[in-house]
Amino acid sequence: MRSLWLGILACAAMLAACGDDDSDFVTRPSGGSSSSLCKDCDDGSSSSKKQGDGGSDAAMTNSSAKSSSSSVTLAIPCKTDSTDICEYKLWPDSDATITSVTIGSQIWMDDNLSNGTKSRYTNWSDAVGERLEDDCNSWLCNPGLGVFRGACPEGWHLPDTTEWNTLIAAVGGRYNAGSLMSLWNEYPWRCGKTPDAYGFSARMDGMVYADGFTSGKGYYAVFWSATERNENQAYAISLSCTGDSASWEYYGKNSRIMVRCLKDDPSDKKIDISSLGCRTETEDNCEYGELIDSRDGQAYKTVKIDTLWWMAENLNYETDSSFCYEDSSEYCEKKGRLYVWEDADTACPEGWHLPSALDVEDLYQTAGGKFVAGKLLKTTTFKDRVGTDAFGFSALPAGLRNADNGNFSWGEYLAYMWTSLSYSNSKAWGIRFSYRLDEVETDEYDKFDALSVRCVKD
């Protein structure tokens, strides 16, 4: 179906890549607008950053540079002090007149997004655009239907971490990224001449924190990515003139950082969801199995989605803090039990586990991305926007039990499922399938809310 890259993500090698809320991104090396996650990793704050405003994620660069280089088109240096044979192009049909430079397989603006003639520092919400800000305010942002334009002109988009890492790999990796820096330098005694060997012309403008403090001017070129770290922070790529290196940093979304746009690839604009899946109204070619829970003898249908085996039914194993919707045993028989998070985290049978962030992301990716996955993973039992159940996952509306008052709600309209990823001491991440939407929503829930459980085979 598509190449998987989950094997490269070893949390032990990524201690700098995850934050104190246990939710974070490292970048997948393959094409597309997606990111992977790391669980149970230590905070990666950089001591060189202002407390609470930013930090560095060196592991993102380390892992992705090595894994992506084999599939990246290497660029050829095209510019010296005396010659310039880089491949430039004028784009007069865009919202603004743009000049670009081709580097490897990508077409980049050869200057920063500007107001008239002056480059502008931009906060992340403005850079990324309203739709992405609204739809991806969670630990898992995978557009699925293609790129987001954000602040960029028509035909261009704000690059995500994967696309930035493709550029870094194309010029020889993170330790050669200084070759993208411009010859222009307001403070030449700090790092001398930089070659701009590929015509990218990254200027050392640094960035501006939310409180107005300017950092890195004359040392760094910093650019937003479309990938957020959490609800308060997002990733930016930092190119250093002092060490010819690139590093992933994270900043508060109210920080103001430069934007460099990437030309859209028409092949990335849309996914034909009708071609996805293994089931149609007339055929069922999915690979099914059966799980027998030795603890109580219950049998569950399972289905293989990409490389993972999922339960195709909700778990119905009774624990101390699990419930039947409306206290009805009939609901439990049809739709499984609802679990508080701590019980959910240990409720799966031996050899199975509560899905991790990586498991969930793989499910989303296989089903076309978060903005269409709901339609392909839901059953036809939902109200309004029913699903096609194209993968045999059979998500069905089972509602939840509210922690505040013990009330049950949304039993015919919404499906809630726990993940193993803790958000804080009191909250954990879950996924939600809605009767109103074709997408899958990801949100944090009170750990004493009771949600459904789907287990994944170890």
Cβ(315)–Cβ(296) under 8 Å? no
Q: What is the mean pLDDT of residues 409-431?
A: 94
Treating both helix axes as pointing N-terminal to C-terminal, what angle do 370-377 and 357-366 enclose, rounded to 10 degrees? 80
Name the more confident of 74 and 12: 74
Indicate the range of 11-25, 95-109, 122-136 predicted with least confidence: 11-25
Reading the block at residue 85, the tokens are 């044979």
* pLDDT, position 54: 67
User: pLDDT per residue over 203-258, tens digit each?
Assistant: 888 899 988 898 888 888 999 998 877 778 888 999 887 777 888 888 999 999 99
* pLDDT, position 187: 57
pLDDT for residue 55 is more than 80: no
* pLDDT, position 68: 34
Position of tokens 């609470």? 52
User: pLDDT per residue over 1-49, tens digit each?
Assistant: 333 333 322 332 232 233 333 332 222 222 222 332 222 222 233 333 4
User: pLDDT per residue over 279-289, tens digit each?
Assistant: 998 999 999 99
Amino acid at 424: S
Angstrom CA distances, 251 to 231, 242, 289, stand at: 11, 21, 45
Angstrom CA distances, 3 to 7, 277, 306, 338, stand at: 11, 16, 10, 35
* Full-model pTM: 0.54
Q: Which of 44, 43, 35 lies closest to 9, judged by CA?
A: 35
pLDDT for residue 266 is more than 80: no
Q: What is the mean pLDDT of residues 354-362?
A: 88
Q: What is the mean pLDDT of residues 432-451?
A: 91
